[in-house]
Structure 1
Amino acid sequence: MNGVARMVRYNWPKYAVAAVTLAGVAALPWPWRLLAVPGAAGVAVSLAATWWAYDHSRLHDWRWALDLLPTPRRYAVVSTGLDEISPALRDLLPDAEPTLLDCYDPVVMTEGSVRRARRLNPPPDGSVRADVAALPVAGAGQDAVFLAFAAHELRVPAQRQALFAEVARVLRPGGHLVLVEHCRDAVTVAAYGPGAWHFYPRREWLRLARGARLTPAGEATMTPLVRALVFQR
């Protein structure tokens, strides 16, 4: 299933409300039906942006990551409800030792889209339930930690700070954090409208890394909508 189809399935109530609303406005007499045009355009732009970011980019290839850091022998994937990167990393790094950490907490992560995504895509085999403030991983043992579209689900600043502190703890000296996120900026706002406020600006991730004593070590852009930020312990 492609990225657009997944997004619609995970967020179908929003799209259903939008469709009913647009249909009702379109049924109004002329020229009031023109009010449907901005809403329809917004939905179309959002879907096109998702297709561009997820289906027409190198994002899910993950070979790009090996251009940004040494090939890890041990790595951890931290997810907060949906882990879609572990299979690709296993294929790409068959000789490495992965640790899959499922940090989903339904009390904290209350988004309906996350619940639906989790029902449709259970955690991969071998996943371990974890707390973002106490990852069940020994200190200084991981060559890399991957956080893909996960950290923004932590809506309380202290939770994000705790996660970054734990990432720094489990990384070996010289190890890398690979953070993949939509960064809220003018392009993201233009693509997703108010939905862009579900994400955080790039400066927030830099602030958290600085607080955890992680140093910027590289960056890649997967279309202007998605960024990979790499930090080194």
Structure 2
Amino acid sequence: MELNRKSYQGVWNIVRFNWPFYVVAGIVILLVIGIAGYFSGLIFYFLLAAALAALGGMLVSLVVSHYIYDRSSLYDFGWLDGLDFQKAGSALTVNAGFDETTEILQHKFPFLRFAMADFYDPRLHTEPSIERARKIYPPKPEVLKVYTSDLPYGDQQFDIIFVLLSAHEIRNPKERILFFLELKRVLREGGKIIVMEHLRDLPNFLAYTIGFFHFHSHAAWIKCFELAELKLEREEKQTVFISLFILTKK
């Protein structure tokens, strides 16, 4: 992954990783428009409106994604500047099959020693787009394959743990809790776990319609953190579509 992101890299990655969806959606929209031509009156306008609504929804989701991943300051990580990392020495980034942030973080925090982990397991995390992403951007040799319930690190090994736009791929709530318990175990006293996620909320529904079901609700995240005995030190929005949770040990 290039350190200097291209102007449309984020939205283009989304299209490449999810191209079967866009192909099928495009064919269905064209079929509906074609079928509408055989009708007149109310049925014609209903089918045409349905096709245009589907097309509009798809375009809105791409425009929003372009704003989030290409136009906002999300990947500048300026929102981390208020956190005191100067005394930290070790960091862990945990991803789910596709890592587009570690290299940027390494450049921003050159004094940190980074370890990289990938918990993607196709038997448990069944999102097809991840497999396509891995073919386009194969994991680096230094990325360690891990299991969510058994991280191969020592107790209190890391000062900072980054879990950015990846933990939502853990669909099973129990697995998600075990994962955060493991993160707590390998986090040093006074350390921070930084979680960044879309939420299953109104802004993401308006942006992605039924696609927002791929995310978890705010209540689900808070419950997960509580059951993992982690303290929510800070919560804020990085754009209206992205939530940031900063966690510490209780």
1:211 aligns with 2:224: no
Query: Aligned-pair distance for 1:212?
Result: 1.7
Q: 1:79 aligns with which of 95, 100, 123?
A: 95
1:19 aligns with 2:35: no
RMSD of the TM alignment (CA)? 1.4
Instruction: Give the TM-score, by structure 2 length.
Output: 0.89
- The equivalent of 2:16 in structure 1 is 9
The residue correspondences of 1:139-154 to structure 2 (distance < 5 A) are 139-154=155-170
Cα drift, residue 144 of structure 1: 0.8
Shift of 1:203: 1.8
Structure 1 stretches lacking a partner, 5+ long: none
Counting aligned pairs with the same residue, the percent is 31
8 A contact 1:188–1:196 mirrored in 2:
yes
**In structure 2, what is the Cα distance between the partners aligned to 1:203 and 1:55?**
28
Deviations 1:112-150 (A, max 9, x none): 111111111112341111111111111112111110111
The one-letter code of the counterpart of 1:4 is: V
Greater relative contact order (Cα < 8 A, sep 6+): 1
Q: How far is 1:46 from its partner?
A: 0.8
Aligned to 1:51: 66
SS of corresponding position for 1:8? helix
Which stretches of structure 1, 4 residues or longer, exceed 6 Å deviation after superposition? Answer: none
1:66-114 Cα offsets, whole Å, 9 max, x none, are 3245343211011111111110011011121111011111111111111
SS of the residue 1:67 aligns to: coil
Amino acid of the structure 1 residue aligned with 2:71: H
Q: 1:142-161, CA deviations, whole angstroms, 9 ceiling, x for partnerless residues?
A: 11111011111111111101
Q: Determine the C-alpha separation between the residues in 2 that align with 1:104 and 1:116.
A: 13
Larger gyration radius, structure 1 or structure 2 = 2
> Are residues 129 and 137 of structure 1, via their aligned partners in 2, closer, same or farther at CA, if it must alter by over 3 Å?
same
Q: CA deviation at 1:164?
A: 0.3
Provide the rounded CA distance (Å) in 1 between the counterparts of 2:83 and 2:232: 11
Letter in structure 1 aligned against 2:129: S
Distance 1:35 1:209 in 2: 40
Determine the C-alpha separation between the residues in 2 that align with 1:34 and 1:153: 34
Provide the aligned length of Structure 1 versus Structure 2. 233
TM-score, normalised by the number of residues in structure 1: 0.95
1:117 and 2:124 are equivalent in the alignment: no
Out of 65, 71, 80, the position equivalent to 2:80 is: 65
Partner of 1:88: 104
8 Å CA contact retained: 2:97, 2:130:
yes
Which range moves more in the overlay, 207-216 or 176-185?
207-216
> In 2, are the aligned partners of 1:168 and 1:214 still within 8 Å (CA)?
yes
